[in-house]
């Protein structure tokens, strides 16, 4: 039987795979916390940009993040991010942060700091965490690990339709622009030395290309029941 420290569902995958919607849905159904780990990196990136730190100076970046007051709402029905008490939930989804977040998240010291924060946010009463290294670095002991993916075309179309892609382009070119940006981020996230985007060896792979969020949510909930996390 899982202990309080392993009441965790780890949901990893690239942007546009649907993991945020699914993670919130699963957390809401279970009455658990929801932790958007990507939001911690985006909030940290905003802090770095506001401080004017050189993105190529790992030490300077890490110091800014260490001094930053970053907090998240863990309510799946009302997620959000705050920096020094300011609600930055919208700002961190903008193009400036999107362009810089891969560089900030590649800094090993930043990842160590934010992994500690993410584990604290999860608490001990049950949490669904979504990101890129939950099953490999944040909670490698999680009893349920899912790697959610989708085709490149589907992912780009979803992000463009969401209006949350963090890129700007004429409507006719938006999907192509988003697709190029996702490819850039995939390349950076998969090749970084610190906790790259990769599926845990024991993760269940789910391709959401032809599935809606409700179907994927039910799949994850079934895995949770099979693992003894729910009644």
pLDDT of residue 218: 97
In a domain, 164, yes or no: yes
Who has greater pLDDT, 228 or 184?
228
In a domain, 108, yes or no: yes
The average confidence (pLDDT) of the chain is 88
pLDDT of residue 155: 79
Residue with tokens 């909030």: 43
In a domain, 72, yes or no: yes
CATH of the domain at 196: 3.40.50.300
pLDDT digits (tens, 9 = 90+) for 117-132: 999 999 999 999 999 9
pLDDT digits (tens, 9 = 90+) for 188-203: 666 666 666 678 999 9
pLDDT of residue 170: 47
Residue 174 has pLDDT above 50, yes or no: yes
Coil, helix or strand at residue 129:
strand
pLDDT of residue 169: 47
Mention every residue, 6+ apart, whose C-beta is less than 8 A from residue 165: 98, 159, 174, 178, 181
pLDDT of residue 189: 67
DSSP 200: -
In a domain, 62, yes or no: yes
In a domain, 231, yes or no: no
Q: How many domains does the chain have?
A: 1
Q: Which of 99, 109, 100 is nearest to 59 (CA)?
A: 109
> 153 pLDDT band (50/70/90 cuts)?
confident
In a domain, 53, yes or no: yes
For the residues of 25-75, what is the DSSP string, one character each? HHHHHHT-EEEEHHHHHHHHHHHHHHHT--TT-HHHHHHHHHH--EEEE--
Count the helix, strand and coil residues of the chain and give each as a percent rounded to the nearest 5: 50, 15, 35
pLDDT > 70: percent of the chain: 85
Domain that holds residue 218: 4-226
Residue 175 has pLDDT above 50, yes or no: yes
Secondary element (H or E) of residue 56: none
The stretch 107-125 carries a mean pLDDT of 96
């Amino acid at each position: 039987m899982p202990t309080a420290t392993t009441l965790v569902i780890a949901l990893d995958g690239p942007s546009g795979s649907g993991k945020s919607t699914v993670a919130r849905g699963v957390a809401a159904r279970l009455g658990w916390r929801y932790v958007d780990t990507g939001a911690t990196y985006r909030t940290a990136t905003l802090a770095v940009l506001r401080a004017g730190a050189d993105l190529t100076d790992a030490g300077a970046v890490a110091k800014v993040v260490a001094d930053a007051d970053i907090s998240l709402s863990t309510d799946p029905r009302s997620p959000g991010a705050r920096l020094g008490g300011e609600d930055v939930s919208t700002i961190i989804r903008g193009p400036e942060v999107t362009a810089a977040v891969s560089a900030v998240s590649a800094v090993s010291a930043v990842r160590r700091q934010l992994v500690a924060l993410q584990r604290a946010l999860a608490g001990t009463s049950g949490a669904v965490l979504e990101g890129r290294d939950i099953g490999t670095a944040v909670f490698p002991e999680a009893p349920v690990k899912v790697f959610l993916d989708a085709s490149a075309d589907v992912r780009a179309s979803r992000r463009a339709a969401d209006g949350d892609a963090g890129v700007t382009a004429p409507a006719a070119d938006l999907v192509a622009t988003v697709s190029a940006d996702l490819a850039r981020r995939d390349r950076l996230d998969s090749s970084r030395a610190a906790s790259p985007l990769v599926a845990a060896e024991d993760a269940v792979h789910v391709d959401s290309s032809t599935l809606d969020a409700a179907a994927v949510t039910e799949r994850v909930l079934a895995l949770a029941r099979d693992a003894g996390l729910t009644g």
